[in-house]
Amino acid sequence: MLKRFIAYYKPHRRMFYLDMAASMLISLIGMVYPIVTNLMLKDLIPNRNYRAVIIAGVCVLALYIARLLLRYFVQYYGHMIGVGMQAQMRRDLFAHLQKLPFSFYDEHETGKIMTRMTSDLFDVSELAHHGPENIIISSVMLIGSFIYLCTINVWLTLIIFCCVPILVSVAIYYRKKMRAAFTERRKETAVINGALESSISGIRVTKAFTNSEKEKEKFERGNSAFVRACRAAYKAMAQFFSGTSFITDIFNVIILIAGGLFLYDGKIDFAEYSTFIVSVNLFISPITTLINFVESYQNGVTGFSRFLEILDEKPEEDAPGAVDIGKVEGKIELDDVEFSYNNSEEVLHGVSLTVEKGEVLALVGASGGGKTTICHLIPRFADVTGGAIRIDGRDIRSVTMDSLRRNIGIVQQDVFLFGGTIRENILYGRLNATDDEVIEAAKRANLH
């Protein structure tokens, strides 16, 4: 999964490297303040070198202005890298959805698919930007502050460093709980989006049968499940952040006591003690940043794994050696056709019929008898599980699906209009039709 995620960085390599370089400079500038503080307390102020104090202050201000510009660069261009990656993922997902068989859409609600294309991919883009940035900045600050603290007092630094495994252990423990809880929340979000999409799409049916209360009950069940999932997720998150924050507070208490004892024994002077208190935040801050990053990481990883679930769905493919059917005459033959959905009870068994060129045939029967199924099998919206369907004597499985469907006109039972003009909807059947042909089609449909 990591390799597939990194692949989306490739088109943005140059900007990504600049973003990481800027992040590293931000970290290094952050190390300046405690160093200057130590210099002032130990040298400049005791020696009354006020001119140097002012110069040092101006230099720090200049560096902070530079950090302002660097942070702007990281925030803006870093997020644009994430947006670019998100757009490419959505492009790949949309293209893949066009290739998936109808069985996929029978098994997945539209709202759930839309959740994966929107909110899931947004979380992935946030991870794409903040992940490397937080790791770079935190790593540089963590290593740099550790080295600098050692130059002040090695033993005091090691005391603090020995407490880090406790913080990491707590973070790992609660991270596992958070991952499970946030994954469940994602699923419930998709469920409620699916319920909303279904209810809104079928609002006419709901009103026609006066089933508004029933729909409210269905929605409330999904909504309640979502609230329960959120409660579990935020409970795990609250435990995570409160626990880790408490440990960082313990760090400060240890510094206060241990540093005071070192000062009392003369192992460090007051300037070093003051600088150590200021500097230790540089050591704790990146750890806290990485801990806080866990939530974004969990959301991003969960979103990307859900994105890959759809991307790994097997698309419908032409048979090896399939050819373009060209222009057909129109003779259709069903030869001992059998069909069942997902290896369940057969819908069609031993169906054979022939429709000659130009012949009009009406399929009449009870609901569930297989009329629509037969119509779906001819353009290969689904494939027969037994027997064969031929057009002009050729098995439809031996020709490409695109060429087959170009020769078939379909009027849906439920009329669906795409967003746009009536003209654009008419053109959907043949994108290269002329205006005269569009007008003629509109007249035949009693629209003109």
Query: With 70 as the cut, is the pLDDT of residue 283 above it?
Result: yes
Structure token digits, residue 70: 């660097």
How far apart are alpha carbons 37 and 39 in whole angstroms? 5
- The predicted structure's pLDDT at residue 288: 76
Tell me how crowded residue 373 is: count the other CB atoms within 10 A of its CB.
19
Three-state DSSP state, 370 = coil
Name the H helices within 202-211: 203-208
Give the list of residues 6+ apart from residue 288 with CB closer than 8 angstroms, or none.
244, 245, 248
Burial of 297 per CB tally in 10 Å (0-12, 13-18, 19+): buried
pTM (two decimals)? 0.69
How far apart are alpha carbons 194 and 381 in whole angstroms? 23
Contact of 91 with 14, CB cutoff 8 Å: no
- The predicted structure's pLDDT at residue 347: 84
- The predicted structure's pLDDT at residue 76: 92
Q: Grade residue 298 by pLDDT with cuts at 50, 70 and 90.
A: confident
Mean pLDDT of 344-359: 86
Q: Does domain 2-311 have CATH number 3.40.50.2300?
A: no
- Crossing angle of helices 270-311 and 110-117, in 10° steps, is 140
Residue with tokens 């989306």: 8
Contact of 127 with 297, CB cutoff 8 Å: yes
Query: With 90 as the cut, is the pLDDT of residue 372 above it?
Result: no
Q: Grade residue 328 by pLDDT with cuts at 50, 70 and 90.
A: confident
Structure token digits, residue 29: 């500038």
Mean pLDDT of 198-218: 71
CA triple 125-127-128, angle to 5 deg: 60
Which span out of 83-92, 269-278, 363-372 was modeled with the highest average pLDDT?
83-92
CATH 1.20.1560.10 domain span(s) along the chain: 2-311
Mean pLDDT of 22-50: 83
Query: With 90 as the cut, is the pLDDT of residue 73 above it?
Result: yes
Q: Grade residue 206 by pLDDT with cuts at 50, 70 and 90.
A: low
Q: pLDDT: is 346 or 86 the higher one? A: 86
Q: Grade residue 208 by pLDDT with cuts at 50, 70 and 90.
A: low
In angstroms, the Cα distances linking 105 to 249, 306, 322 are 52, 16, 25
Q: pLDDT: is 185 or 63 the higher one? A: 63
- The predicted structure's pLDDT at residue 130: 84
- The predicted structure's pLDDT at residue 143: 86
CATH 3.40.50.300 domain span(s) along the chain: 326-396
Contact of 259 with 268, CB cutoff 8 Å: yes
Mean pLDDT of 125-152: 85
Query: With 80 as the cut, is the pLDDT of residue 367 above it?
Result: no
In angstroms, the Cα distances linking 284 to 157, 162, 174, 257, 394 are 12, 13, 19, 17, 72
Contact of 302 with 189, CB cutoff 8 Å: no
Contact of 357 with 403, CB cutoff 8 Å: no
Q: Grade residue 147 by pLDDT with cuts at 50, 70 and 90.
A: confident
- Return the CATH number of the domain spanning residue range 326-396: 3.40.50.300
Least confident among 68-72, 188-192, 226-230: 188-192
User: For every residue of 426-442, which 3-state class applies, written as one string?
Assistant: HHCCCCCCCHHHHHHHH
